[in-house]
Amino acid sequence: MLIRVLGCSAGGGFPQWNCNCRNCSSVRSGKSNFKTLTQSSLAVSGDGKDWVLLNASPDLRQQINVAPALAPNNGSARSSPIKAAVLTNGDVDHIGGLINLREVQPFTIYATRRVLDVIESNCVFDILAANVVPRTPLELGRPLQLTGAGVDLGLTAEAFDVPGKIALYLEDPSAGMRFGTQVGDTIGLKISDPATGEAFFYIPGCAEVDEVLAQRLKGASLVFFDGTLYTDDEMICQGLLDKTGSRMGHISISGSLGSISALRNLGVERKIYVHINNSNPVLDESSQERKAVEAAGWEIGYDGMEVRL
């Protein structure tokens, strides 16, 4: 498998259009220890020819334009090596990019029934006519062979529920602490290549590593994981937003309940943070937090990062 990080930022990107925090103003002014990031998405290929998107961020057009492997490649007037998109939730930073995939080009959208319902109830996504772009529901715990535009992509996707939250714009304030969140609103993915036996996990949004998830990740070759915030209250402390990470459905990197701690003894071979918020101090390559993360055996993903498995 060949995996490309199309975008490594959380929703809003880095810099974020309206943000003047230390990180955003530093990257905007071109400081050498900061790199711009587009929004959260990976692409994966079994054969290096046909590709599956894992989430479709609003920056997708820009992400495709800088990835030669994703350009039309079969010589006909209209074509694309992108044959499927698998979605992990209904956040705008994970589904908004679908509208870039218009122009009557066949591919398959995979998501849970909950997320497909969101897409089907927003007529703006009808720009992808369902007879050209079929939607296939993911059932939790059932590995599914990925296909698109008549091509067997040689990969399987297994969706599993992870602790998380319904998309922000779907929150029901009257529904208590969980805002109407149901099973299927936030999933992780295990992508496998049956031909080689290789597999990796992609979990860009996760509120907590519970025992079920810890057992699942034990001994994995590769995990891309939610690196939204370094500390739970960093957005409040920086005066950016009056919400903690846990309120937003994201575990922190640091702390006794954080992801470094939770994955420390699971024997995962390679651990890469993705979905990194603009407030996160690890985006400063010279920061103590960056050094601490790397010392703990994690990598910080970046746009255009490629990993072979």
Applying CB under 8 A, which residues contact a second copy?
A: 11-13, 15-21, 24-25, 28, 36, 58-62, 64-65, 70-72, 75-80, 82, 92, 95-96, 99-105, 118, 121-127, 168-170, 238-241
Residue closer to a second copy by CB (options 8, 260) is 8
Residue closer to a second copy by CB (options 238, 261) is 238
Q: Quick check: 164 and 225 in contact, CB under 8 A?
A: no
Residue 152 beta carbon to a second copy: minimum distance, rounded to whole angstroms: 20
Residue 210 beta carbon to a second copy: minimum distance, rounded to whole angstroms: 28
Residue closer to a second copy by CB (options 104, 212) is 104
Residue closer to a second copy by CB (options 59, 158) is 59
Please choose, from the candidates 205, 202, 159, the residue with its C-alpha nearest in 3D space to the C-alpha of residue 181: 205
Listed in sequence order, the DSSP H helices in 194-233 are 211-217
Omega prior to 15 cis, within 30 of 0 = yes
Question: Whole-angstrom Cα distance, residue 180 to residue 254?
Answer: 28
The 8-class DSSP code of residue 300 comes to: E
Question: Whole-angstrom Cα distance, residue 89 to residue 95?
Answer: 8
Residue closer to a second copy by CB (options 81, 154) is 81
Residue 102 beta carbon to a second copy: minimum distance, rounded to whole angstroms: 7
Residue 147 beta carbon to a second copy: minimum distance, rounded to whole angstroms: 18
Question: Whole-angstrom Cα distance, residue 71 to residue 69?
Answer: 6
Token pair 């390679």 in the structure block, residue: 270
Residue 279 beta carbon to a second copy: minimum distance, rounded to whole angstroms: 10
